[in-house]
Structures are given as C-alpha cells and as structure tokens.
Amino acid sequence: MNEKRILCIEDEAEMIDLIRLILGRRGYDVHGAPGGVEGIKQVKETIPDLVLLDLMMPDMDGWEVYQQMKADEKTRNIPVIVVTAKAQNIDKVLGLHIAKVDDYITKPFSPAELLASVEKTLNKKTS
C-alpha cells in the first residue's frame, strides 16, 4: 500500500497527536494543521489524499474550510471526514446529506471507528 497523506485540521494538538498515533500504526502519513486558516493553506499546498476536519475552531470553522475546498478546482475532489464534538443529529444530517461530506465521526470515537471510516473513504475514492 502506498502511503496515503492525511491532513487533520483540528485546533486541539492532543487530538492531532491521537489521530496521528492511531493512523500512523496503519502506515498513514498524518499531518496536522492547528486551525482552519492554516488547514486551508496546507490543503492547497500539499493536496492530501484525505482531510479529517473539525467543525469548531476559533479562527475559521470547519464548514468555511470545507466550502473553500469545494470551491477550488484543485482541492474539490479531496475526500473529507468531519471529526467533531457536534453530535446532534441535525449536524450529522447537514454534513452527510446537505454538504455531502464523505463521513461524519463524533468525538469521542474509538480507534476502530476512525480506521474504518478512513479506510472506507479512501477505498471509495480509488474504486
């Protein structure tokens, strides 16, 4: 398996470290961006295979990052998994059915749940 580059846009450093630990064990190359502004910059510079996106960040929220990604031809086809503490059903419906994110995981999540979502999303992209 060639190493897939995953960008985790998340304002909590501990969460980036946790995701890097979980996915790194499976051979994923995980990079972190400590907020939305830095995240969108890194997405445009590195064109990752997958973005893990937090919704609630102080500088630019996740939906704004997502909209900017989808508006740019170079980044529009990068799959996005929302990883957030916003666990209300309305948020999930908005994410999956209105905004069309690839998957939606609520915190706290299990390592197995994260891995399953990442693998399902990346496999969907290649098939």
Domain boundaries, the chain: 5-126
Distances (CA, A) of 47 to 57, 91, 92, 94: 21, 26, 25, 25
Q: What is the mean pLDDT of residues 73-86?
A: 93
Q: What is the mean pLDDT of residues 22-36?
A: 97
pLDDT in tens, 11-26: 999 999 999 999 999 9
pLDDT of residue 127 exceeding 90, the answer is no
In angstroms, how far is CA 118 from the centroid of its own chain?
Answer: 9
Q: In whole numbers, what is the pLDDT of the chain averaged over residues?
A: 92
Residue with tokens 């508006």: 71
Q: Of 84, 71, 75, 26, nearest to 50 (Cα)?
A: 75
Instruction: State residue 6's pLDDT score.
Output: 98
Distances (CA, A) of 69 to 23, 51, 117, 123: 23, 10, 20, 21
Nearest-Å Rg of the Cα atoms of the chain is 13
pLDDT of residue 126 exceeding 80, the answer is no
Q: Of 77, 80, 73, 85, nearest to 109 (Cα)?
A: 85
Cα separation of 64 and 23, whole Å?
A: 25
CATH architecture assigned to 5-126: 3-Layer(aba) Sandwich (3.40)
| pTM for this model (two decimals) | 0.92
